[in-house]
Amino acid sequence: MRTSKVNLVIIGHKDHGKSTLIGRLLYDSNAIPKQKLQEVEAELKKAGDEGFRFAFLLDTFEEERRGGLTIDIMQTPFKTEKHLYTIIDCPGHREFIKKMFTGASQADAAVLVVSAREGIQDQTKQHAFLTQILGIHQLIVALNKMDQINYEEAKFKKIRDKLANILDSLDYKKIPVVPVSALNGENVFKKSQKMPWYKGSSLIDTLDKTVRPSTPPTRKPLRGCVQDVYAIEGRKIVVSKILTGVLQEGKIVYFDPIGEQGRIKKIGMFGKEVEKAGPGDSVGLIVNDLKKVKRGEVISYPRNRPKIVRSFVAEIILFSGVEIESNDLLTVRCGTAEKRCKVERILERIDPINVTVDAKFPETLKNGEVGKIVLSPTEPMCIEKFSELAELGRFVVEGKKGTAAAGIVLEANVAKED
């Protein structure tokens, strides 16, 4: 069984051909059942539309097919020689940013689709910026619709060079740019005969060559979060998820911010006992001498405990229907903890398309905007810098109907030692 899995998110501006590219990838790799293809072809005939057949495979909502517009994300797997890719297709329309974020937040790598005819557009830049915020370092560009510019090298180079500048400013260096025509299948799977000037590999080969599955952060300091505490047959079991590092039986651990300490007597995983547990493991812990531990606490070893923060600076993106002002109290969720934090100050509003600061110290941040803010927890809270420990350096803000905003921690200001 193939264990090398890569979550790949496909991003880019509306109508640049993301869904068509994915449809093509699935079709050429034989990942689509015959019945499904026949279904889609029948639908298309009815609608009198021959051209967009590949996108139809993914746009399964009625509204999507009628409007030719992807509304929500979808996850589809396909295999190559090297990996099992799960492709996450995202809507490109600017109103669907929170859905793009949902999709991209699960990705190990991203393919940015740019239309060779239209060139770089708003969401091209915005999506690249957002994937960078999300900490996705692996990026490949598919310069699509080459058929519409006659497979010309000059135009390709022009867009490629412009892109390189933009991506460079986002800290994406030496990103491969692959010319393709998703509609005609040129250079997607096999190298195209129509572009003899192109010396690189096909899209699939470039993916296989450049993308690596994420490696679990076993070398980082131990961090786990308590999901719950169960009482089973008279014993307390601390149910937790390990985020980074390795938890070992017999060792002493701390639970913060409550500051309680205990020794791990047993680590249980689904009916068996294990000696250690690593990133991603959900475990049931029997720890002696615990009195106060509850959901939300962070587990660590004494030599590297998370700090209780007095305030932190975060880059935050607001999803629908939310506005933030100084002195607002936000419910921030990080790991399994949920804490009320006060907005001390909004430092900057950032234009997510041109990635420039377009206002310093604005009064408010609104729906769809990205900004830098200072938050201070109103109760003890442990949070890390995103660049050091992403798993506890990212958070969401609760709104009335689900997640209202997402953010990453740029700096954490520590409270004075007790």
Does 67 interact with another protein (rule: CB under 8 A)?
Answer: no
Query: Residue 336: which residues within 8 A CB-CB, separation 6 or more?
Result: 225, 226, 227, 241, 295, 296
- Strand ranges across the sheet with 177-179: 74-79, 84-89, 5-12, 109-115, 138-144, 177-179
Which of 3, 150, 215, 327 lies at the binding interface for another protein (CB under 8 A)? 3
Output the smallest distance, CB 297 to another protein, in A: 13
β 109-115/138-144 pair status: parallel
Output the smallest distance, CB 284 to another protein, in A: 7
**What CA–CA distance (Å, rounded) separates 287 from 332?**
28
Residue type, position 174, single letter: K
Residue 28 backbone phi and psi in degrees, to 5: -70, -25
Output the smallest distance, CB 344 to another protein, in A: 23
Residue type, position 359, single letter: A
Closer to another protein by Cβ: residue 179 or 352: 352
Output the smallest distance, CB 98 to another protein, in A: 4
Does 387 interact with another protein (rule: CB under 8 A)?
Answer: no
Output the smallest distance, CB 24 to another protein, in A: 17
**Binding to another protein in span 82-111, by CB under 8 A:** 98-99, 101-102, 105
Which of 230, 288, 340, 378 lies at the binding interface for another protein (CB under 8 A)? 230
**What CA–CA distance (Å, rounded) separates 223 from 171?**
28
Q: H helices of 153-259, where?
A: 153-169, 203-210
Write the interaction track for another protein spanning residues 241-270; mark x where CB under 8 A is met and - where it is not: x--------------------------x-x
Output the smallest distance, CB 58 to another protein, in A: 8
Query: Residue 138: which residues within 8 A CB-CB, separation 6 or more?
Result: 108, 109, 110, 210, 211, 212
Question: For residues 394 and 334, is the Cβ–Cβ distance under 8 A?
Answer: yes
Which of 41, 43, 273, 363 lies at the binding interface for another protein (CB under 8 A)? 43
Does 34 interact with another protein (rule: CB under 8 A)?
Answer: yes
Output the smallest distance, CB 382 to another protein, in A: 16
Label residues 379-396 b or e (16+ Cβ within 10 Å = b): eebbbbbbeebbbbbbbb
**What CA–CA distance (Å, rounded) separates 257 from 238?**
16
Which of 61, 169, 170, 348 lies at the binding interface for another protein (CB under 8 A)? 61
**What CA–CA distance (Å, rounded) separates 127 from 125?**
6
Which of 36, 158, 209, 251 lies at the binding interface for another protein (CB under 8 A)? 36
Output the smallest distance, CB 181 to another protein, in A: 25
Contact set with another protein (CB under 8 A): 1-3, 33-36, 39, 43, 58, 60-63, 71-77, 98-99, 101-102, 105, 227-228, 230, 232, 237, 239, 241, 268, 270-272, 280-282, 284, 295, 319-320, 333, 336, 394-396, 398, 400-403, 406
